Chains A and B, each alone.
Chain A
Amino acid sequence: MANVKLKNVVKIYDNSVTAVHDFNLDIKDKEFVVFVGPSGCGKSTTLRMIAGLEEISGGTVEIDGEVVNDLQPKDRHIAMVFQNYALYPHMTVYDNMAFPLRIQKMPEDEIYERVTRAAEILGITDYLMRKPRALSGGQRQRVAIGRAMVRDSKVFLMDEPLSNLDAKLRNQMRAEIILLRQRLDTTFIYVTHDQTEAMTLGDRIVIMKDGYIMQVGSPEEVFDRPGNLFVAEFIGAPKMNTFKTKLVRGDGEYHVTPFGVALKVGGEKGEMLKAMDAPTQEVILGVRPEHIVLADPDDQNAIPCTIEVNEMMGSEYHMHVTTKDETRLIIRIPTLSLTAEQRAHLKPGEKLKVKFEGKAMHFFDTEEEKNILYPYVPEVVE
């Protein structure tokens, strides 16, 4: 149970490739932090630096107030779950879970207590005498978690622990990790490339790209107020629709003019633009698929478009449409909001009109692609 502080952490590989640039983050005690980003963004490297498996090229990593740069992994009081589970194939489940405790020379009866308790929590008591080979993917994952659980560790590290499981199992294990977190009540650092995992698990999410932190924030923050275009597109599925358009300052009102129609920017966002006194400018406008709605065919202020593909997802439709200038948009429509007649109408090639409201709009500048209303300010770590 401890806080983890990363100050100006840099990773440069031998061939002078910089994998992580000036990483600053203060992880509070008992916080669940998720590192998320596309492959090669440096998230795993950062985790491995915290674990001590990767040399820290610059900056400091503190665990519980102690600089651990020069400590060996075993002295950092951490536990880690690996992507491929890293179970020792020649040991039984019990021996695998007992391994870290035996290394510490803990008495066997206490090992027994801890391992069986952890096994019970994870529901793997029946498999204690089996070898990893005889287990399914989900069971192996539980053993790997169990091995990390039995130790008294200050920080719990997980490196893409669910990415080798199939979709169904992944959902189930995700729920179990949430339960585990409640039970263990310790600091978690979790690496994933899956934004859904990040959103559902994390107290805070660290979104990375090319070795840089793009944004740090709670799931609500990164979803509602993405600091830049990358975060906006990365979080949320299907990804946010983005297109260039003009933000026009009228008299006391702002409009955007996508695809030849003028849409009013109303509500809070309109007020903020007024307060900023934003000039008329080219912007990148972002609208999430679920915030686009079908408009009345006669609505003059709606965007006309043609259906290309309509994916029936069960509870909703994912509709791929093109506007008149061939821009593609994705629209999510709940199935229940449509009448049977409407549904029959939503076929490829059909024309329809869509619109969205001001509160659903995200504005990014065209130069640095930063959010005009909510620019992300990097955290300063003391």
Chain B
Amino acid sequence: MSKKNDYDPSAMKQHMGMSAKNRISNTVIYIVLVIMSIVWLAPFVFIVLQSFRCESTWMVGYVVPKQWGLDNYINLAKTDFWHWYTNTFIMALATAVLQTVIVLCMSYTLSRFRFKIRDGLMRFMLILGMFPGMLTMIILYRILKDLNMTQANAVPGLILVYIASSGMGYYVSKGFFDTVPKSLDEAARIDGATRAQVLWKIILPMAKPIVIYTILTAFMGPWGDFVFARYISMNTPAGMNVAVGLNSWLSQDMINSRYTMFCAGGVIVAIPVTILFMCLQRYYVEGVTGGAVKG
């Protein structure tokens, strides 16, 4: 029952005599938050529930299964699902490693070095980014096809596509490097380190949060990519990733026999990614907020 000073900017009323009003508004907020939580989580609860439904395989208007069982999960083994899963997993791992290397090279350079074409380069990449990336897939498909990296062999082709242009996504990590004081580099250079040693021995160890952020986003990319994965695999199940594969189960002629299996597949895809994400959540939040503020 005391007046509290409040550093929290969002709090609006914090003075004495406001407490009754405060209690009402807090109650309203709690109600809103509970409703929101339900709305946000419901689809995921539904998808889990439906993945255990055994009485039918098509879409139904109710949520709780009448007959529970693991049929859908077991049946996944009879399809290409695990193939897609392996494809995606390989692509995610390779992309995570290679893309991180490329993005870090790019962002560190643009943050630390001042060379003749730097400004022009950044402006050029900004303009390049305004073209819809999808436009390039027609030609990339033809080129990759000549290299025999499409359809059933889409995995290496897709990895190449994912990492090749990833240097253009340097903004967030450049923003991070910009906040690391330059005097650290200078001190190390005066102590006799080469530029390469500065990067390896001074900057990278400090950049752990942004490295993890980059790895995390790179790893999550292939799980959700739809455009390139679909185009490069060209209707060949052997080359699909989970997004394209599972989406094909929802087409007109498949949905009635595969809907619940889609749910089961979705759950299996979501579990590892979600666990990884929740473990590294802190870094993700740092990266996202930092990136937005620096623009």
Report B3 CB to chain A, min CB distance, Å. Answer: 5
CA A4 to CA B15, docked complex, whole Å: 22
Assess the B2–A55 pair: CB atoms within 8 A.
Answer: yes
CA A309 to CA B72, docked complex, whole Å: 87
Q: Does A327 contact B (CB under 8 A)?
A: no
Assess the B16–A54 pair: CB atoms within 8 A.
Answer: no
Assess the A54–B5 pair: CB atoms within 8 A.
Answer: yes
CA A53 to CA B7, docked complex, whole Å: 10
| Chain A 43-78 interface mask (CB, 8 Å, partner B; 1/0) | 000001000011100000000000000101000000
CA A70 to CA B3, docked complex, whole Å: 8
CA A54 to CA B2, docked complex, whole Å: 11
Interface of B (DSSP majority class): loop
Query: Given the complex, which residues of B lie within 8 Å of A48, measured CB to CB?
Result: 5
Query: Given the complex, which residues of B lie within 8 Å of A53, measured CB to CB?
Result: 5
Query: Given the complex, which residues of A lie within 8 Å of B17, measured CB to CB?
Result: 70
Q: Does B4 contact A (CB under 8 A)?
A: yes
Report A72 CB to chain B, min CB distance, Å. Answer: 5
| Chain B 1-41 interface mask (CB, 8 Å, partner A; 1/0) | 01111000000000111000000000000000000000000
Sorting the interface of chain B by its residue count into under 10, 10 to 19, 20 to 34 or 35 or more gives under 10
CA A53 to CA B5, docked complex, whole Å: 6
Report B68 CB to chain A, min CB distance, Å. Answer: 50
Report B81 CB to chain A, min CB distance, Å. Answer: 53
Query: Given the complex, which residues of A lie within 8 Å of B4, measured CB to CB?
Result: 55
Assess the B5–A55 pair: CB atoms within 8 A.
Answer: yes
CA A228 to CA B2, docked complex, whole Å: 37
Query: Given the complex, which residues of B lie within 8 Å of A55, measured CB to CB?
Result: 2-5
Query: Given the complex, which residues of A lie within 8 Å of B5, measured CB to CB?
Result: 48, 53-55
Report A53 CB to chain B, min CB distance, Å. Answer: 5
- B129-145 interface (Cβ within 8 A of A): none
CA A55 to CA B15, docked complex, whole Å: 10
A72: nearest residue on chain B (CB-CB)? B15
CA A72 to CA B5, docked complex, whole Å: 11
CA A54 to CA B6, docked complex, whole Å: 8
Query: Given the complex, which residues of A lie within 8 Å of B16, measured CB to CB?
Result: 70
B18: nearest residue on chain A (CB-CB)? A72
| Chain B 167-188 interface mask (CB, 8 Å, partner A; 1/0) | 0000000000000000000000
A73: nearest residue on chain B (CB-CB)? B15
CA A15 to CA B5, docked complex, whole Å: 15
Report A83 CB to chain B, min CB distance, Å. Answer: 15
Query: Given the complex, which residues of B lie within 8 Å of A70, measured CB to CB?
Result: 3, 16-17
The residue in B4, B5, B17 that gathers the most chain A C-beta atoms within 10 A of its C-beta is: B5
CA A337 to CA B2, docked complex, whole Å: 62
A53: nearest residue on chain B (CB-CB)? B5
Query: Given the complex, which residues of B lie within 8 Å of A72, measured CB to CB?
Result: 15
Report B47 CB to chain A, min CB distance, Å. Answer: 44
CA A48 to CA B5, docked complex, whole Å: 10
B4: nearest residue on chain A (CB-CB)? A55
- B227-255 interface (Cβ within 8 A of A): none
CA A62 to CA B3, docked complex, whole Å: 17
Query: Given the complex, which residues of A lie within 8 Å of B15, measured CB to CB?
Result: 72
Query: Given the complex, which residues of A lie within 8 Å of B2, measured CB to CB?
Result: 55
B16: nearest residue on chain A (CB-CB)? A70
Report B12 CB to chain A, min CB distance, Å. Answer: 13
The residue in A53, A54, A72 that gathers the most chain B C-beta atoms within 10 A of its C-beta is: A72
Query: Given the complex, which residues of A lie within 8 Å of B3, measured CB to CB?
Result: 55, 70
CA A53 to CA B4, docked complex, whole Å: 8
Report A256 CB to chain B, min CB distance, Å. Answer: 50
- B54-97 interface (Cβ within 8 A of A): none
CA A124 to CA B77, docked complex, whole Å: 77
Report A90 CB to chain B, min CB distance, Å. Answer: 14
Q: Contacts A48-B5, A55-B2, A70-B16 known; list 8 others, CB within 8 Å.
A: A53-B5, A54-B5, A55-B3, A55-B4, A55-B5, A70-B3, A70-B17, A72-B15
- Residues in chain A within 8 A of chain B (CB atoms): 48, 53-55, 70, 72
11 A-B residue pairs with Cβ-Cβ distance under 8 Å, sorted by A, are A48-B5, A53-B5, A54-B5, A55-B2, A55-B3, A55-B4, A55-B5, A70-B3, A70-B16, A70-B17, A72-B15
CB-CB nearest 9 A-B residue pairs: A54-B5, A55-B3, A72-B15, A70-B16, A53-B5, A55-B2, A55-B4, A55-B5, A70-B3
